[in-house]
Amino acid sequence: MLFALATPEYNSPNDYIYVTLRSLILHSKVIHRQNLLSLNNLNSIFLIGDTEENDTNNPRFHIPLPLFSRVEHIKQEMARDNIHFVRFEATDLHGVSRSKSIPARFFPEKAIHGISIPRGYLELTLNPKDSGVDHLNVASFNSDIILIPELSTFKPLPWVERTARVICDPFTIMGNPLLTSPRHIAKQQLNHLQDNGFSLHSAFTYEFCIYGVAEVIDSKTISFPMGMLLSSHDQLFIQELVDGMYHMGVNIESFSSSIGPGQMEMTFWPEFGITSADNAFTFRTGSKEVAKKHNYLASFFTETGFYNSGTLTHSLWDTSGRKNLFSTGSRVHQLTDIGKKWLSGLLKHSAALSCLMAPAVSCRKRYSVDYKEPKECVAPTWGYNDNSCSYNIKCHDEKGTQIENKLGSATANPYLVLAATIAAGLDGIQSGNSFLDGPDDSENFVQLQPSEIPLKLEDALVALEEDKCLREALGDTFIHYFVAMKQYELENEETESERNKFLEYFI
């Protein structure tokens, strides 16, 4: 008998746990049926077919039919598009792409088994000997993990010759999801949302800066701004970026110059599920690669004096994707009861949310820009069609009523922004208490007393640790890991100031 493992949280025929387990079987034929049943995180077991145990010559042992069909389809696509290399990408804590490339001839095998990388590439534990994250020791920190590709994200890269990429989820070699993976956490929250009868329609809007490339890069020579980059300043660059993103499945709805020197703003078309975060992740990497082709540098890092924002615009829908549950359909400036409760959840958890959405010291300065007197915390604000608010309710276009979560920095990891927003909003619905009862007047807000946003990152980390809802949603392991990383950054802020000058090249 042959058994395959199915994990409901992935909702896909491409059974990740089975794929990883199959790789183990091929390398160690002494694994027996009772060993399979003892593995962790086995949610259900499905009989695939009868065959002699460990008979690797039987075709049914190799690949489940749906996965086989998808791999065969991609093989045909690679031949048609002359793809010679495939890049396996995964996000780290900061939303930066960490990748490993293979020749295309190995893709069918790697699509099944995954590809191994050192665990430390994704878990940026800068001093593993002192780390208590996930009870890691030096040995486990230096162990391998397996990147299993999400085959639906396979796309040829328009700006890189003969190369395609696929987004991956990291697993331990025992087939368990990596609990510190931001994408895994986001998918968990989306599944939790679906279990409660909802789906999320969302899109990111990013501000980022375009710099000219200095000929020599050292501690005394820093890249210089191009000056105000008007939308028509470099049509070739903008057109290649927008067209390339379209062919990657990322629909850029609009683009324009922004306030700062060399600053651009790009808005994406909304998508359901994990796709909006995948699109943001794709854009963050792709914009840098296209900029480099044109002798520019694209940076999402927040500099002193101006701010690169990252806004998550979202609305709650039924699971069929047919009804916007924020829209009343009658008044322009009005949220439904569900929408009010969702917004109440965001207000309630704003302190902890800000830690994930503005995860660097420089990101948090804009929270106090409107205050003359020094403050330790500021209250989050909300309003209708008011871009100065922390949460802006938009009701005036074809997408229906949406909430803009404007707490975010472009530096934030889009998967964490998505996951935390869902966790906070859903808690507002499940608690049954709306801070926004009564007339839809923002004057009522003064009575609500939502959690205030700390201006210091240290205080925001405390708020995140103490937020039971987000801790439960994101997991103790991730919270421990995230806080440890940020505390390390704070402790080394001054000594690493010279190195930080070059963060714009990577973030």
pLDDT in tens, 157-210: 999 999 999 999 999 998 999 999 999 999 999 999 999 999 999 999 999 888
Alpha-carbon distance of 306 to 309, in angstroms, equals 10
Question: Which pLDDT score is estimated for 223?
Answer: 46
Q: Last residue of a domain, which of 116, 145, 178?
A: 178
Task: Say whether both 197 and 174 belong to one domain.
Answer: no
Phi, psi of 306 (to 5 degrees): -150, 170
Question: Which pLDDT score is estimated for 442?
Answer: 46
Q: What is the CATH number of the domain that holds 370?
A: 3.30.590.10
Task: Say whether both 143 and 241 belong to one domain.
Answer: no
Residue 83 has pLDDT above 90, yes or no: yes
Neighbours of 385 (CB within 10 A): 12
Measured CA distances, 6 to 36, 158, 194, 308 (Å): 13, 34, 18, 41
Lowest mean pLDDT among 70-74, 312-316, 342-346: 70-74
Q: Do the beta carbons of residue 347 and residue 450 sit within 8 Å?
A: yes
> What percentage of the chain reaches a pLDDT higher than 90?
49
Measured CA distances, 69 to 50, 105, 223, 227, 386 (Å): 21, 17, 48, 50, 49
**Mean pLDDT within 252-267:** 85
Task: Say whether both 425 and 284 belong to one domain.
Answer: yes
Task: Say whether both 142 and 255 belong to one domain.
Answer: no
Lowest mean pLDDT among 70-79, 157-166, 227-236, 337-346: 227-236
Alpha-carbon distance of 410 to 44, in angstroms, equals 39
Alpha-carbon distance of 139 to 119, in angstroms, equals 10
Question: Which pLDDT score is estimated for 242?
Answer: 95
Query: Cβ contacts of residue 491 below 8 Å, gap of 6+?
Result: none
Task: Say whether both 170 and 247 belong to one domain.
Answer: no
Residue 322 has pLDDT above 80, yes or no: yes
Domain count within the chain: 2
Task: Say whether both 242 and 386 belong to one domain.
Answer: yes
Task: Say whether both 255 and 314 belong to one domain.
Answer: yes
Question: What's the predicted TM-score (pTM) here?
Answer: 0.82
Task: Say whether both 174 and 194 belong to one domain.
Answer: no
Across-strand partners of 204? 312
Alpha-carbon distance of 348 to 226, in angstroms, equals 41
Residue 387 has pLDDT above 60, yes or no: yes
Query: Cβ contacts of residue 346 below 8 Å, gap of 6+?
Result: 353, 380, 391, 403, 405, 421, 424, 425, 428
Q: What is the CATH number of the domain that holds 41?
A: 3.10.20.70
Across-strand partners of 324? 317
- Which amino acid is present at 429? I
Task: Say whether both 279 and 165 belong to one domain.
Answer: no
Q: Which of 450, 403, 435, 468 is nearest to 200 (CA)?
A: 403
Q: Give 220-256 pLDDT, tens digit per residue.
A: 444 444 444 445 556 788 899 999 999 999 999 998 8
Lowest mean pLDDT among 9-23, 183-197, 211-225: 9-23
Q: Last residue of a domain, which of 119, 154, 178?
A: 178
Task: Identify the sign of the CA torsion 318, 324, 330, 334.
Answer: positive
122 pLDDT band, cuts 50/70/90, is confident
Question: Which pLDDT score is estimated for 435?
Answer: 63
Q: Do the beta carbons of residue 301 and residue 309 sit within 8 Å?
A: no
Question: Which pLDDT score is estimated for 494?
Answer: 61
Which residue range forms the structural domain that includes residue 141? 2-178
29 pLDDT band, cuts 50/70/90, is very low
414 pLDDT band, cuts 50/70/90, is very high
**Mean pLDDT within 113-122:** 89
Task: Say whether both 60 and 197 belong to one domain.
Answer: no
Task: Identify the sign of the CA torsion 331, 334, 335, 336.
Answer: negative
Phi, psi of 412 (to 5 degrees): -65, 150
Q: Last residue of a domain, which of 124, 157, 178?
A: 178
43 pLDDT band, cuts 50/70/90, is very low
Alpha-carbon distance of 189 to 288, in angstroms, equals 29
Task: Say whether both 85 and 165 belong to one domain.
Answer: yes
Measured CA distances, 380 to 116, 371, 389, 419, 452 (Å): 43, 13, 8, 19, 6
**Mean pLDDT within 365-375:** 69
306 pLDDT band, cuts 50/70/90, is low
412 pLDDT band, cuts 50/70/90, is very high
Average pLDDT, the chain: 78
Residue 395 has pLDDT above 50, yes or no: yes
Task: Say whether both 171 and 207 belong to one domain.
Answer: no
Q: Give 469-484 pLDDT, tens digit per residue.
A: 999 999 999 999 999 9
63 pLDDT band, cuts 50/70/90, is low
Residue 275 has pLDDT above 90, yes or no: yes
Question: Which pLDDT score is estimated for 65?
Answer: 62
25 pLDDT band, cuts 50/70/90, is very low
Residue 432 has pLDDT above 80, yes or no: no
Beta pairing, strands 224-225 & 198-212: antiparallel
